[in-house]
Amino acid sequence: MIRRFIQNAGWPRIIIALFLLGLFIAAPFVGVRVDTSLSNTLVRFGMNGVMVLAMIPMVQAGCGLNFGLPLGIIAGLLGATLSIEWNTEILAWLSGLGTQYKISWLNDMFVTAWREPLGFASAIIIAVPIAAILGWFYGKLLNRVKGDEMMIATYVGFSSVSFMCIAWLLLPYKHPTMVWGYAGKGLRTTISVEGYWLHVLSDSLALNIQTDDIHLYIPTGMLIFFAVMAVLVWIFMRTKTGTAMTAVGSNPEFARASGVNVDHMRTVAVMMSTILGAVGIIVYEQSFGFIQLYMGPFYMALPAVASILLGGASVNKAGILNVIVGTFLFQGILTMTPSVINSYLQTDMSEVIRLIVSNGMILYALTRKVRAGR
């Protein structure tokens, strides 16, 4: 029974889960509050959850782990920056729309009161089509290189990030909070979203108890958003398209024989992954408070990939449960190691532990014997 459990879960996951458990147990003894740590873990869980969710469609469709997540992130960054650039215009347009079509509730007062959620929504609405277009091309590319998707995805991600580095400098952004003050052009490395949509999800319906005994903060809104996205993905994977996608991933020959257009399914999966990545980064930014441009998104794929693998996914099979468990474990370790180990050893080992855990996990998944049929 126990042996079967270990076999199913795989020893690295068990070690990491025990390690995290140990950290939580050790926390009070070194003066780290469990409730604060738990709150931090939940916040990070909400921040990263959607990006980890972006792994599912591609893995299920047999495209491997989405190391090309930065492509989706770039779409998200474009949406985020454009939503700030055009913030006033968008709000004015919305209230204008209300006047034009005599919609009584869509007036200036409503727009002013809801400007932050509206800004956030506009970021997502701008990002999604960009992500869909990028994802379409990306999917077409990956269809041509079956068998080598992961390596190529990595470098597609890298080259798109470095291409956007040039673009961020050259694109005609004008908004004073975003461009370099002295030059008047070229976006800054980090852009604050304060005053636009800082914490719109995190703080809505948030449970915030700060007394002498309890320091608890649960970003309910963000968690609900993640849950909604997860449910959407879950439902999608059970629709006709979703099952066809899974069939393509588990046995392309069989799928083709039963009349599924393999390449089309893969393209759809890649597009979905890219769109989820775009939404994911916007959720991340609203909680983090800053938009990180230039080399910021460079290595963002690795934690997401490691998370879903930690949750029990393999290179060609992943589910919602893997995402939830994996993100919680991974982010738990990221939160707990700095606080607990630092107060014990007086050094910051979190970076090193993050490197070893995340890449060790990916390595473990890559070196496992894959089921036949791939």
- What is the binding site for another protein (CB under 8 A)? 67, 141, 144-148, 150-152, 154-156, 158-159, 162-163, 165-166, 169-170, 186, 302, 347, 349, 351-356, 359-360, 362-363, 366-369
How far does CA 99 lie from the centroid of its chain?
Answer: 37
Nearest approach in angstroms of CB 78 to another protein is 17
Nearest approach in angstroms of CB 305 to another protein is 9
Which of 113/352 has CB closer to another protein? 352
Roughly how many angstroms between the first and final C-alpha of the chain, as a whole number?
A: 30
Nearest approach in angstroms of CB 352 to another protein is 5
Which of 248/302 has CB closer to another protein? 302
Q: What kind and span of H or E run contains 289?
A: none
d(CA 351, CA 347): 11
Which of 99/347 has CB closer to another protein? 347
Tell me which residue has tokens 């140990």.
Answer: 22
Nearest to 67 by CA among 145, 156, 142: 156
Contacts 24+ apart (CB under 8 A), 9-16: 9/312, 10/312, 10/364, 12/310, 12/360, 12/361, 12/364, 13/310, 13/312, 13/329, 16/310, 16/329, 16/333, 16/357, 16/361
Nearest approach in angstroms of CB 175 to another protein is 20
Tell me which residue has tokens 């089509």.
Answer: 129
Nearest approach in angstroms of CB 171 to another protein is 12
Which of 101/182 has CB closer to another protein? 182
Which of 156/323 has CB closer to another protein? 156
Nearest approach in angstroms of CB 168 to another protein is 9
Which of 174/240 has CB closer to another protein? 174
